[in-house]
Amino acid sequence: MQTIVECVPNFSEGRDAGKVHAIIQALLSGPDVYLLDQEMDADHNRSVVTLVGTREAVGEAALRGIGKATELIDLNHHQGAHPRLGATDVVPFVPVRGVTLEDCVRIAEWVAEHAWKRYRIPTYLYETAARTPERRNLENIRRGQFEGVRDEVKSNPERRPDFGPEPPALHPSAGATVVGARKFLIAYNINLATPDTSIAKSIAKKIRASSGGFPCVKAMGVDLKAQNLAQVSMNLTDFETTSIGTVFDAVAREAAEAGVEVKGSEIVGLIPRAALEDAAVHYLKIETFQPGLILENRLDTVLSRQANTVGAGLKPAATATTRTLASMAEEFVNAVAADTPAPGGGSVSALAGALAAALGIMVCRLTLRKKSFADHYGAINQALEPLERLRARLMELIDRDAESYNGVLRAMRLPKSTEAEQAARREAMEAANKSATLVPLETAESIAEVRRLIVSIQPVTMPQAASDLKVARAMADAGRAGAVENVRTNLESIQDREWASEVESRLRSQRDAQTPVAPA
């Protein structure tokens, strides 16, 4: 995968393996998403799932998980040691490869918005995606948990979700979901050889950043009833600032002063290799250590050099395997060329729009690297964010267009032997044709906005990329023209002429005078 984003959704279910399995199946039911790890904890009554996916796919995967959790989890009947606000409690996105933290912010915003639109789950944005400083910390949002926030949100404007109903309210059974973007976080727990939770809470207060302890450390004391133990449960939000070895030493020291031993520790989810390297060096006291001493690190460096050599146009080693740009596009092209009606012109139009947006994004990013264009950074950034959002939407519309056509085919295959069956089939056909009309309409509207943004950045971006913007405009013109043709073709099958007239009005209202489209 050219881009890799980690997503670590936390679900408020740690006792029913069947429910957790169903949620994971939903998460993985789309393309370009892979499961790295899953953790279930009965005491916490919580599951932590670690996924990786492409920048384009990981947000949709998270939404599938949110939807399934909404079906299966009722917080009114949920009890556990871990605080919780929602059935899907928290969904962070973490940059891994080929993406930035800002990219993950945009993914988080899109997921938060669509969790509300699709499933009516109110959402809050946290960490780097937070829209107010006090919401950077998850604890501030989740204070009071499901029951407390459910009551307070009705009267306290400061507790209202970033996306949700008016007047503010939580989902009656699934609560609210907190979505954000952050650096890699290590969930690290230390179990004490005592059931006395007050000791764990006292230690947590001493070491957490909010109480004047270690920076980038969040901690709380937890009662593990099933194990008859107290636990110091921690999140290390920047292990390079405060290492796992540092917090272990601190907890062990405080526990010893209280007359308690450390029984053991656990990592929830995954941990970066560098964090364990730091811990090993900390305890082994290795002198003159450097990461290149680790075999896997050295191997990664060698393979990276080989890949860069191939990318520079030099002859690859005999054993090297490469994926060309043509091979990356081949799967979609072959799908269009197959003897099936979908994907067809609608999907191709959406792809053309996505490519236009991608070219605009490329030009914006290249220009932002030029100090000579510093005076235009503000205008460029104002165009960059919506272009990235539109590119993601148009990529989604590629599949949605094919799915909408398949919906028409399903309606056409309905039985029509009796008058009742014929009436049901007509109703299904009308609904399917309306859906198949709205998808290319959304494509056309999205591409029109892409083209407007492309035109707006032409005067403020580097002249060396002018030809790329011309190509972007040409792709946008072609994509929008194709989408409009699909809209008008589908309108011919619509019986509700008032509805069809409203669609035509939307086409006219968003038509760019410079965009060539076929006459009505």
> What is the mean predicted confidence (pLDDT) over 17-45?
90
Whether 287 shows a pLDDT value over 80: the answer reads no
**Domain residue spans in the chain?**
4-181, 186-278, 338-509
Same fold, 186-278 and 338-509: no
Fold (topology level) of 338-509: Four Helix Bundle (Hemerythrin (Met), subunit A) (1.20.120)
Contact 36, 63 (CB under 8 A): no
Please give the backbone phi and psi of residue 32, each rounded to the nearest 5 degrees, phi first.
Answer: 60, 35
Quote the pLDDT of residue 319.
Answer: 36
Neighbours of 456 (CB within 10 A): 15
| Structure-block tokens of residue 194 | 């005592």
Q: What is the per-residue pLDDT across 52-63, written as a single tens digit (0 to 9) for each? A: 999 999 999 999
Of 337 and 114, more confident: 114
Catalytic hit among 82, 196, 282, 376: 82
Quote the pLDDT of residue 515.
Answer: 44
CA atoms within 13 A on the CB side of 338: 11
Q: What is the per-residue pLDDT across 184-229, written as a single tens digit (0 to 9) for each? A: 888 899 999 999 999 999 999 999 998 899 998 999 999 988 889 9
Please give the backbone phi and psi of residue 318, each rounded to the nearest 5 degrees, phi first.
Answer: -60, -30
Contact 36, 61 (CB under 8 A): no
pTM: 0.51
Fold (topology level) of 4-181: Formiminotransferase-cyclodeaminase; Chain B, domain 1 (3.30.990)
Residue 483: strand, helix, or coil: helix
Q: CA dist 357 to 59, 388, 472, Å?
A: 19, 7, 7
Quote the pLDDT of residue 302.
Answer: 60
Contact 362, 462 (CB under 8 A): no
Catalytic hit among 43, 401, 468, 477: 401
Please, is 474 exposed, middle or buried when counting C-beta atoms within 10 Å of its C-beta (0-12, 13-18, 19+)?
Answer: middle
Whether 520 shows a pLDDT value over 70: the answer reads no
The question of whether 282 is a catalytic residue gets the answer no
Whether cis (ω within 30° of 0) applies to the bond prior to 167 is yes
Neighbours of 165 (CB within 10 A): 13
Quote the pLDDT of residue 359.
Answer: 95
Contact 86, 177 (CB under 8 A): yes
Element holding 413 (H helix, E strand): none
Residues in CB range of 11: below 8 A, 6 or more apart:
20, 23, 46, 47, 48, 49, 65, 69, 73, 87, 88, 89
Q: What is the per-residue pLDDT across 105-125, written as a single tens digit (0 to 9) for each? A: 999 999 999 999 999 999 999
CA torsion through residues 403, 405, 408, 414, sign: negative
Contact 48, 13 (CB under 8 A): no
**Average pLDDT of the residues of the chain:** 87
Partners of 221 in beta bridges: 232
Quote the pLDDT of residue 8.
Answer: 94
Using alpha carbons, select from 448, 359, 446, 348 the residue that is nearest to residue 394: 446
Element holding 259 (H helix, E strand): none
The full length of the chain comes to: 520
Quote the pLDDT of residue 322.
Answer: 43
Whether cis (ω within 30° of 0) applies to the bond prior to 343 is yes
Q: Which single residue is written with the structure tokens 């948990």?
A: 145
Q: Would you list the DSSP string of 74-126?
A: -GGG---SS--SBSEEEEEEEEEES--HHHHHHHHHHHHHHHHHHH---EEEE
The question of whether 401 is a catalytic residue gets the answer yes
Of 455 and 286, more confident: 455
Q: What CATH class is the domain 186-278? A: alpha beta
CA torsion through residues 79, 80, 81, 87, sign: negative
In angstroms, the CA 224 to CA 215 distance is 26
Contact 154, 167 (CB under 8 A): yes
466-491 vs 497-509: helix crossing angle, rounded to 10: 170
